[in-house]
């Protein structure tokens, strides 16, 4: 039996996908409703065909998105500019999965570092979202005592039999490589146990010494009869080499969930060091502030980096305070706090600038 054109039209409308419906809207009215698992990175890739344009979406939605690290299901984001029909936005991969393509990768945004870093955006919509994402926590350089953690183990060498002369084989290790390791003191190195590989960095006067994570290591064979343990490289954050130190895989700082609450009288700090010492630090760079757990800082706390009010000279008006950038605490030790830059208002972020706590975890 022949169906009328009106019935076919009605059926076609019913079968339209959400993406197709959005594509039929005029560009000026395109809106994406955030759902669990969405990221600004993926939304930009879907609608604007370029994930690096995620700041364009953030900029026109500041009335909705207060902090680019936090988007929530149900929020309606306006999409700028013209574009082809968007593809459905895929859910964000599990950042803790060993084979995740996100691996620090990192996290969000105008990210920089070239390989071996593989930074991707992890601004994930989650109503029960962790205060700090696993990739940011694990890869963040942090400050410890001068000399580094006590009782650390080490990577001995590659466990792969070289196909070329020993003197010319590579010394850098890569993801999935098999390696021989000496476990940290007191560790039984059971199969499946994980460690964080680290390397000591610069000393910061009056603060401590930077510890730079390089990889996550997983034991595949426990040590026997005086032999070393065998492990594999699970995730790489930086150049990984033999003799890198091994410390326990501690994720306690990632446990807090919730959203930081605004405060008006937060403690002040100073930017003491910026990771990789870039010419122009930007969003996703790590920086170290000289406040720590002793001063009550917790992972997830938010900071404002600023230029303070300049007192007026005689007959002149005073310069008001200038906001430079916003940052979030991702790794906190008794010595210092490592923050990640989440938004930027001024071009120059540098050591010596002041910062203060603007929001605290409940």
Spell out the domains of the chain, with CATH numbers in brackets. 12-92+104-129 (no CATH), 142-253 (no CATH), 261-360 (2.40.10.410)
Q: Write out the two tokens for 59.
A: 């900029």
181 strand-pairing partners: 155, 229
Cα maximum dimension of the chain = 92
- Gap between the Cα atoms of 263 and 265, Å rounded: 6
- Gap between the Cα atoms of 155 and 228, Å rounded: 10
The residue to which tokens 């930081």 are assigned: 260
For residue 161, the tally of other CB atoms under 10 A from its CB is 7
Check: pTM over 0.85? Answer yes or no.
no
How confident is the model at residue 334, as a pLDDT? 95
Q: Write out the two tokens for 52.
A: 């690096």
DSSP string of 215-253, one letter each residue: EEEEEEE---TTPPEEEEEEEESS-EETT-EEEE---GG
How confident is the model at residue 163, as a pLDDT? 63
Going from the first residue of the chain to its last (362 residues), give the mean pLDDT of each consecutive group of 10, the final group possibly shorter: 44 43 52 83 83 81 76 86 45 38 36 34 47 86 91 92 58 88 92 95 94 96 91 93 92 77 93 91 93 94 94 82 95 95 92 96 89
How confident is the model at residue 89, as a pLDDT? 41
47: Cα separation from own chain's centroid: 23
Q: Which helix (H) or strand (E) holds 6?
A: helix 5-15
How confident is the model at residue 23, as a pLDDT? 44
How confident is the model at residue 4, as a pLDDT? 43
The residue to which tokens 């680019």 are assigned: 68
How confident is the model at residue 69, as a pLDDT? 64
């Amino acid at each position: 039996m022949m169906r009328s054109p009106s019935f076919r039209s009605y059926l076609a409308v019913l079968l339209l996908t959400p993406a197709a419906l959005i594509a039929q809207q005029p560009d000026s009215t395109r809106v994406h409703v955030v759902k669990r698992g969405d990221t600004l990175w993926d939304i930009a890739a879907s609608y604007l065909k370029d994930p690096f344009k995620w700041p364009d979406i953030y900029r026109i939605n500041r009335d909705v998105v207060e902090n680019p690290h936090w988007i929530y299901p149900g929020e309606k984001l306006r999409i700028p500019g013209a574009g082809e029909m968007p593809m459905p936005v895929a859910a964000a991969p599990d950042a803790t999965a060993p084979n995740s393509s996100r691996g620090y990768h990192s996290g969000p945004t105008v990210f920089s570092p070239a390989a071996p870093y593989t930074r991707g955006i992890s601004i994930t919509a989650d109503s029960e979202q962790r205060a700090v994402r696993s990739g940011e926590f694990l890869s963040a350089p942090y400050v410890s005592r001068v000399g580094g953690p006590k009782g650390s183990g080490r990577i001995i060498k590659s466990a792969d039999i070289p196909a070329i002369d020993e003197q010319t084989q590579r010394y850098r290790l890569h993801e999935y490589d098999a390696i021989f390791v000496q476990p940290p003191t007191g560790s039984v190195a059971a199969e499946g146990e994980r460690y964080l590989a680290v390397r000591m960095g610069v000393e910061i006067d009056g603060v401590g010494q930077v510890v730079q994570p390089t990889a996550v290591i997983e034991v595949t064979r426990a040590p026997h009869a005086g032999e070393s343990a065998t492990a594999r490289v699970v995730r790489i954050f930086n150049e990984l080499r033999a003799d890198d130190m091994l410390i326990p895989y501690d994720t306690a700082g990632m446990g807090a969930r919730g959203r930081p609450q605004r405060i008006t009288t937060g403690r002040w700090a100073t930017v003491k060091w910026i990771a990789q010492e870039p010419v122009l630090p930007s969003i996703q760079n790590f920086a170290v502030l000289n406040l720590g757990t002793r001063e009550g800082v917790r992972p997830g706390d938010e900071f404002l980096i600023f230029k303070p009010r300049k007192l007026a000279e005689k007959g002149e008006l005073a310069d008001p305070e200038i906001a430079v950038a916003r940052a979030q605490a991702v790794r906190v030790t008794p010595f210092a706090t490592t923050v990640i830059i989440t938004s930027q208002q001024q071009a120059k972020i540098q050591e010596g600038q002041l910062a203060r706590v603007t929001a605290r975890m409940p």
